[in-house]
Structure 1
Amino acid sequence: MKILLLGSLISTEQMELLNRNSKEKASVAPVNYETMLAKGLSENGAEVEALSIPAVAAYPYSIYKRINSRHEVIFNKIHVQWVPFVNVQGLKQVTIKKSVERLLKLWLKNNEGINNKVVLMYSMYPSYSEPAIQLCKKYGCHLCAVVPDLPEYMYSWKKMKGIRGGYSQKITQQMLRLQGACDSYVLFTKPMAKKMKIDNKPYLVSEGFCDKSIFEDIPEQEKYEKKTILYGGNLSKLYGIHNLVDGFMKTNMDAELHLYGAGADASYIEACAVKDQRIKFMGRVERTELLIALKKAHLLIVNKPTDDDYSNYSFSSKILEYMISGTPILTTKVKGMPEEYYPFFFFIENETVNGIADSIFQVLQKEQNELLRMGKSAEAFALKSKNYKIMAKHIVDFLMRQIQF
């Protein structure tokens, strides 16, 4: 089976370079996911190519006024072609769409005689999903969309206002209009199907996957001298960052809270770090540095609130990355999380500031052997049941059923 990945897959090195030269840093989560997806599909016998729109902030939030066409080969076998575009807001989306139309049409024409082919698209981003829907229909090619987040929530955490806020709302409305137009779907949670009104279409629930090889070049790490809690990701109130920081400040433990990432509420964390020296704001760092920190921490925390509608349809893909670090995890019980994960986590049952403070205290009071056992059991589960090769095989089998139907 031939699969064309349509999304933002580029090499880790190039992603880090783009982010290094940008004031606003793009999330690396989509690239991490697509990297494992491409690798897993290939190792399960699919012939994989990628047509990729690099995730980079528009000028002047990055130094790049234009992203040129480029070719990369990853894992020595997967050809990745960058889609060229003018990286200036307004022109960016228009030029992406034109380039995708041209390059996708070329791929479809070159593979017109091949029946077992699929375009597998990451997210419903309009600049490439719209031409993909139209061209796949025209050329009779099966189009499957991976949907990690519901369109109506993709931009909500950024809280953008003015022209940028209006534009994000426009993109959201376009995605909502297009979301039912694909032939099949890979969803991160089962409730997504009903919410998207696609439960009458073929879909597979696959909440993500993990790859132990990301720690291959990282030796075993000694834990930090002080007990350390680590949070990495969007620094936004939507993700519970205020309650987490406030809850930690309520404790009087001889411990530290390390926060990695960027987001709308980074300034709040910086202010709290001035008031409480135990809080360390690390910002956005290169991937290797974060992976080392995951190993050195005593506890990893994911504090996504469960009282909003978003949590009903949410599964954080970084959970699986955290699990294979071998460090125990304290998390909220979001409704999108399958119950099979429950035995491997410590849970925040009370999400108030006092409740979070109590949860942190209770977990860090446990014996080190118990924390180690919990971390290692989560690691074993993830590697056995959720590794990228096993999960990608489910996707390959699902796609084969669709094109043979």
Structure 2
Amino acid sequence: MRHWTDRINAAFERYLPEKRLFLRSEDSTRFVRLRALPQAVIITGTGAFVAWTIIASSIVFMEAIGSTDLREQTRREQIYFERRLTELATERDRSAAEAQAAHDRYAEAMDRVATMQGALLASEQRRAEMESGIETLQGSLRERIRERDTARNSLAEIESTTASDELVRAAARLAEVEQTLDFLMNALSDTAQEREAVMALADSASQQVEHLALEYRLIQDRNHRIFSQLEQAVEVSMVPLERMFRAAGLPPEQLLQQVRSGYQDRTTSLMPISISTSGTLDPQGDEARANGVIAALEEINMYRLAAQRTPFAMPVRAGVRQTSGFGTRRDPRTGGQRMHNGVDWAGAQGTPILTTGAGTVTFAGRQGGYGNLVIVRHDFGIETYYAHLHTINVNVGQRVSRGDRIGGMGTTGRSTGVHLHYEIRVGGRPINPMTYIRAAQNVF
């Protein structure tokens, strides 16, 4: 073995000559001899340590940059989501107003059509009466024509056989018959003109009814396209919210029921639409679809309220690194295995600690191994713990919102360095906080 090391030392002495380190004391002098092989081992170990330090620092730096970009992207997506909801609500209100205006126009048109139909029926009745009168007049006319012919024949006979007084009476009778015929002909002409006017009015009313029916069908088609787009947009907006709550172990149906039971105020824009109709218009299809969209928007609003009251956010935002996760780990003090009920982030002392959801402060003070501790009670039986704080900025009973500062990072209590210990408890049972944080990564 020694012969093998001597050969290696001989090979490296050309590049790493032997060095001696002298150690002098008061009464003696000693030296340590460093041959080529130990020098090579020391240089290699030092270089490996420096390389590992550079690589680890680069990884930490890249993770910090990546987390900052992810939060900025999440903030932009949240702004876009809110703007999209506002646009959908505006478009829904506009389409509802247009549908109501179209309904009013159609109802007015149906009233006009009903009036025209009444006038048409009255004119048809008058035309039937006139036709009956014309038939009677025609019968009277034929009778008068026969009388006129008879009178002419009698006049001819009188002219040849009777005296002049009989001729005068026959001429007077003939004049009377001709006057009656003139009256009947004028009555027939007036009746024909009135019948033509009534028929023209009926044709105009029929054309107007067809035009209104076509306009109504176009409005229905446009409303169908608008409602289809609204329904699709609402579904796309609601799916990520349902997925987020299910990933966090919160059943959406039970969650919405609890939010509705404690939320009585309802905005006018989310009230169901109720349209009073008359005549033959049946808007139940559009009304039902509009109320369906309104109900979905109200459900999205309930999800938004529930998300504000649920701890989905990060308790620290910048300049920190995660040092310990949830679960069994090696205790840094005793060296034994111990359950770790939260997640630890290390950073500079005084780093702002923020609430992860709206709630009420139930504890703010010192508590055993937690050191300076703040406990916030949220809805749905959820509590969040913020431990080892350097400073506490809230009081018991205080209402806090997501993002409010409750203290600064420290190292109080059972701690080996400056860090935040963060816990989430549901019904008093600790769960992994990263479940909530990861569930909301693609939503907020």
Band the TM-score falls in, shorter-chain normalisation = under 0.3
Rg larger for: 2
TM-score w.r.t. structure 2 length? 0.21
Larger RCO, structures 1/2 (Cα 8 Å, 6+ apart): 1
By percentage of residues, which structure has more helix?
Answer: 2
